[in-house]
Amino acid sequence: MRLLVPLMFLLIAPVSAFAESSPDALAASVQELRNSAGTWEVVTEFLAEDGSVANTAKGNYQFDWVIEDRVLQGSNSIPSLNMKSGILFYVSEERSVIEMVSVGKDGKLWIMTGPLGGDTRTTQPFATQDGGEAQLRFTRYNVTERSFESRMEYTEDGGESWKPGNHQVFTRIDDLEK
């Protein structure tokens, strides 16, 4: 019995601590969803390890409500690279996270998770082609009503250092009534 009580606290405490979120953080993430609904032109600069631009491509993102203030469905397309993916973008008040999941024609499912109210999301670690492990980090910044930027970085050393991946500029191309 003495061991059972501490074990119960170990199991319950992390879950309850993670599930708590401030109303301001939830409101900020809901506002991010509201701002994301609609159609966006996106210019993506794919970056070399030294941060220089290796390639640039233009595409579109489209987001529409599935459940207002909680779930957006979307797609993105970069025609010059023959890339297209389906997206779900949502908040989970219960888990205190904002997430975006994306899957392309290769069937690879990417889950990008961050805390409610935050502008940074990371993927789970994944295996690289050379047998190592990597992780992606996405940060949204310079946010206005009609545009924002996103930076993707990657790590191959468990997050001790991050290398440039891409830089995206999103510009709204629809009306703001959506």
- Domain CATH for 72: 2.40.128.20
Does some domain include residue 1? Answer: no
Does some domain include residue 44? Answer: yes
Nearby residues of 60 by Cβ (< 8 Å), 6 or more positions away: 39, 40, 41, 42, 76, 77, 173
Nearby residues of 154 by Cβ (< 8 Å), 6 or more positions away: 134, 135, 136, 137, 162, 163, 165
Does some domain include residue 118? Answer: yes
Does some domain include residue 177? Answer: no
pLDDT, tens only, 148-162: 999 999 999 999 999
Model pTM above 0.75:
yes
Does some domain include residue 128? Answer: yes
pLDDT, tens only, 59-77: 999 999 999 999 999 999 9
Domain that holds residue 128: 17-172
Amino acid identity of residue 162, one-letter, is: W
The band of 39, judged by pLDDT with boundaries at 50, 70 and 90, is very high
Domains identified in the chain, total number = 1
Q: What is the pLDDT of residue 22?
A: 85
Q: What is the pLDDT of residue 176?
A: 53
pLDDT, tens only, 95-140: 999 999 999 999 999 999 999 999 999 999 999 999 999 999 999 9
Does some domain include residue 30? Answer: yes
Does some domain include residue 50? Answer: yes
Does some domain include residue 130? Answer: yes
Q: What is the pLDDT of residue 175?
A: 63
Phi first, then psi: give them for residue 160, nearest 5 degrees: -70, -35
Tokens coding 146:
């009609």
**Contact criterion met (CB below 8 Å) for 42 and 63:** no
The band of 8, judged by pLDDT with boundaries at 50, 70 and 90, is very low
